[in-house]
Amino acid sequence: MTVSPPRADVDCLVVGGGPVGLLTAVLLGQAGLQVAVVERWPQRYPLPRACTIDHEALRILQAAGIMAEHADLFEPSRGERGGYQFRGADGELLRAIDWNRPAESGWANTNGFHQPDLEAVLEQAAASTPGVSVHRGWTFTDTTQDESCTTTRLTATGDPSVASTVRSRWLVGADGANSAVRSHLGIEVGDSGFEADWLVVDYRPLVEDTWDAFVVQYCDPRQPATAVRSGPGRRRFEFMRRADVTPEEMGREATAWALMAPWGVTPQTAELERHAVYTFRGRWAQVWRVGRTFLAGDAAHLMPPFLGQGLCAGLRDARALAWRLSLVHRRLVEAAVLDSYGPERAGHVREIIDGAVEAGQIICELDPARAAARDAEMRREPTDPSAVKEPPHPRLGHPSITVPGQDPAGRLAPQGRVRVGSKTGLFDDVRGGDWQLVARGGTPTLDEEAATWFAGIGGTVTGVSPAGSVADVDGVYQRWFDAHGCDVFLSRPDFYVFGIGCATDVPALLAQLRAALDTPGGGR
Ligand SMILES: Cc1cc2nc3c(=O)[nH]c(=O)nc-3n(C[C@H](O)[C@H](O)[C@H](O)COP(=O)(O)OP(=O)(O)OC[C@H]3O[C@@H](n4cnc5c(N)ncnc54)[C@H](O)[C@@H]3O)c2cc1C
C-alpha cells in the first residue's frame, strides 16, 4: 500500500479499494497483468457492512488463494431449523430456510464473517501480488478513452491541487454505490422502488449466548429486526427505523442498547463495536461496460442485505470480469468475449435483487393487519427446512457463454473432495484448472491440437470415479452426473457450467467452447 500515485501506464486501473476492486486486482495480477488500484480514503471503511458470505464466494476466494490461509475468518451457518428463520408478529416460526447444508461449491452454504477482516486480507493479497499496486488517498475525477486505451485523471484526496494521470488498457469502476466512474460515463440506474432505513449494530457477546439460529428475521410490525451470527465471536442486530423515530435518534448508541435490551443484550452482556444507519435499496446499472471501462460490485448493483448477497454478487463480478480480461490480454481469445460480461452478470444479479427486495417487503411490513395476513399465509407453508430449500442460484443472464438449451449450463458446477495419490482435498486445490472438463470414469482423451489449445487457456481434463486415480471421495460428482443425466461437464473459470454431455460429446463440447470464445483461428 502506498500514498504515491500509480505508474503512468498500466494494463488495468481499478478505481475503488473495497473488496471487489481488491479481488479484481488480485485475480488480474495473478494472470500477469500490471494493475493499479486507486482508493479515495487513506484508511479502510470502518462501519458495519457484509457479515454473511455464501459458498460460491468462498470458492472464488479459494481461487484467489485466500482460503488456504484464511478459512478461519468464516463461521459456517448452524442452528435449528436450517439456520435461517422468519418469525411472525408473535415470535412464532413462519418460514425456515436450510442455510446449514454443505453446498455445491465445496464450502458451507452460508458463513458469518467480519468484512473489515476480509478487506485487510484482500488488501494484503493485492499488495503482495506481483504486478499489483494499491494507492490509497487518490480520487478518480474523470476518464477518456480511444481505440487503444483509457486515460484517467486522479487527484490527491488530501490536496486536490495535486493531480496524476494514468493510461491503461482497461479501467474497472469498483467504486461503490455512488460510483463516480458510473456517473462520469452517464450510465443510468434502474430502481426497484424499495427503500427503508435500518440501524445496524455490531457487538461482541461477553456471555455465552443462547441463539438457536444463524439468522432470524423478526417480522414484527411494531419493530422489524434481524439477528445474525456475524462471524467468529461476533453478533449483529439490525432494526428498521419507524416513522416516529428520526434518523438522528436512530443512530444514537442509546437507541441501539434500548432496541437490543429485549433480547438480553445490554452493556453488562455485550461490548458494542459499531453502529450505523443505512438506507437499504434495490438498484442496478443499466449498462456495465462502455468500451474499455467496466463496472463491478456496488457500482453496478445494490440490494437490501436480507439475503446476504451484495458482496457475493460483487465477488462474482470480479471473477467474471477477470477471466475475460486475462484471456483477451494474453490474446488467447477475441475481445468480443467481453461483450457477455454485462448481460450475464446483470441478468443473474437482477434475480437476486428481486429476491432481496421481496424478502424486504415481508420483513419491513409495519401495518399490523397486513402483517397478520402475511403471517397467516406464510403459516400455510411447510416450516421444515428440508422442505423449504433456499432457492437455487439463478442462471447466468442472456446472452451467455454457455451451450444453449442445456439446463445445468449457466448454473453452478460442483466442487467435491478428490483423492489423488496420497493427497485428498477440494478439486480446485488438488486438480485445479480455470476450465474444467470433468468426466465420469476414465479421463477423456483429446486430440493433440484440442488438448494443446485447451491447456493453453488453463483447461484441465479429469476423469473421476469412486476408486480411480482421481477418486470422488464423497460421491459429489457421481451424484451430480446422476442428477443431470450426463457423464461429462465443462465448467468455466467462474465455476458456471459451460455445457454437459456424454463421453462421445467431448470433441463437440470443446469445439462449441472455441466457437463461443471466438478463439483466433479456431472454432469458426
Ligand atoms: C448494512 C449492510 C449489510 C450488508 N450485509 C451483507 C452481507 O451479509 N453479505 C453480502 O454479501 N453483502 C452484504 N452487504 C453488501 C456489501 O457490504 C457490499 O456489497 C460490498 O461492500 C461492496 O463492495 P464494493 O467493493 O463493490 O464497494 P465498496 O466496499 O463500497 O468499495 C468501494 C470503494 O471505492 C472507493 N471510492 C469511491 N469513490 C471513489 C473515487 N472517486 N475515487 C477513488 N475511490 C473511490 C470507496 O472509498 C470504497 O472504498 C451489506 C451492506 C450493508 C450496507
**334-347 confidence digits (pLDDT tens):** 999 999 999 999 99
- 401: CB partners within 8 A, 6+ apart: 337, 340, 344, 492, 498, 516, 517
Cα end-to-end distance, the chain, whole Å:
45
Closest of 101, 385, 78 to residue 209, by C-alpha: 78
Is residue 317 pLDDT above 90, yes or no? yes
* H/E stretch holding 497: strand 497-501
Is residue 465 pLDDT above 80, yes or no? yes
Can you give the pLDDT at residue 101? 82
Which residue's alpha carbon is nearest to atom 35 within ligand 1? Answer: 16
**249-304 confidence digits (pLDDT tens):** 999 999 999 999 999 999 999 999 999 999 999 999 999 999 999 999 999 999 99
Check if 175 has its Cβ closer than 6 Å to any atom of ligand 1: yes
Distance 24 CA to ligand 1 centre (A): 14
The amino acid at residue 120 is: A
Closest of 120, 123, 135, 173 to residue 298, by C-alpha: 173
Q: Which atom from ligand 1 is nearest to the alpha carbon of 19?
A: 25
Check if 20 has its Cβ closer than 6 Å to any atom of ligand 1: yes
The C-alpha cell that represents 325 in the structure block: 480480461
Check if 436 has its Cβ closer than 6 Å to any atom of ligand 1: no
Q: For residue 383, name the pLDDT band (cuts at 50, 70, 90).
A: low
Domains defined along the chain, listed by start = 9-75+113-186+290-339 (3.50.50.60), 417-517 (3.40.30.10)
Residue 255 CA: distances (Å) to CA of 249, 252, 275: 7, 5, 10
Q: Which atom from ligand 1 is nearest to the alpha carbon of 238?
A: 1
- 369: CB partners within 8 A, 6+ apart: none
Which residue's alpha carbon is nearest to atom 47 within ligand 1? Answer: 40
Check if 88 has its Cβ closer than 6 Å to any atom of ligand 1: no
Ligand 1 pocket, mutate which of 13, 240, 295, 298 (most atoms under 8 A from CB) = 298
Residue 108 DSSP class: B
CB 88 within 8 A of CB 244: no
Check if 200 has its Cβ closer than 6 Å to any atom of ligand 1: yes
Check if 173 has its Cβ closer than 6 Å to any atom of ligand 1: no
Which residue's alpha carbon is nearest to atom 27 within ligand 1? Answer: 176
Can you give the pLDDT at residue 393? 80
Check if 139 has its Cβ closer than 6 Å to any atom of ligand 1: yes
Check if 263 has its Cβ closer than 6 Å to any atom of ligand 1: no
Check if 487 has its Cβ closer than 6 Å to any atom of ligand 1: no
The C-alpha cell that represents 524 in the structure block: 469458426
Q: Which atom from ligand 1 is nearest to the alpha carbon of 299?
A: 26
3-state secondary structure of 196: strand
CB 497 within 8 A of CB 400: no
**43-55 confidence digits (pLDDT tens):** 988 888 999 999 9
3-state secondary structure of 491: strand
pLDDT, greater one: 512 or 96: 512
Distance 47 CA to ligand 1 centre (A): 10
Closest of 128, 149, 110, 132 to residue 38, by C-alpha: 132
**165-210 confidence digits (pLDDT tens):** 999 999 999 999 999 999 999 999 999 999 999 999 999 999 988 7
Distance 440 CA to ligand 1 centre (A): 41
Closest of 513, 492, 499, 497 to residue 434, by C-alpha: 492
Ligand 1 pocket, mutate which of 311, 317, 319 (most atoms under 8 A from CB) = 311
Distance 305 CA to ligand 1 centre (A): 12
The rounded distance, in Å, linking the Cα atoms of 57 and 243 is 36
Closest of 280, 279, 293, 282 to residue 186, by C-alpha: 293
Check if 15 has its Cβ closer than 6 Å to any atom of ligand 1: yes
* Beta bridge partner(s), residue 152: 143, 166
Can you give the pLDDT at residue 522? 39
Check if 50 has its Cβ closer than 6 Å to any atom of ligand 1: yes
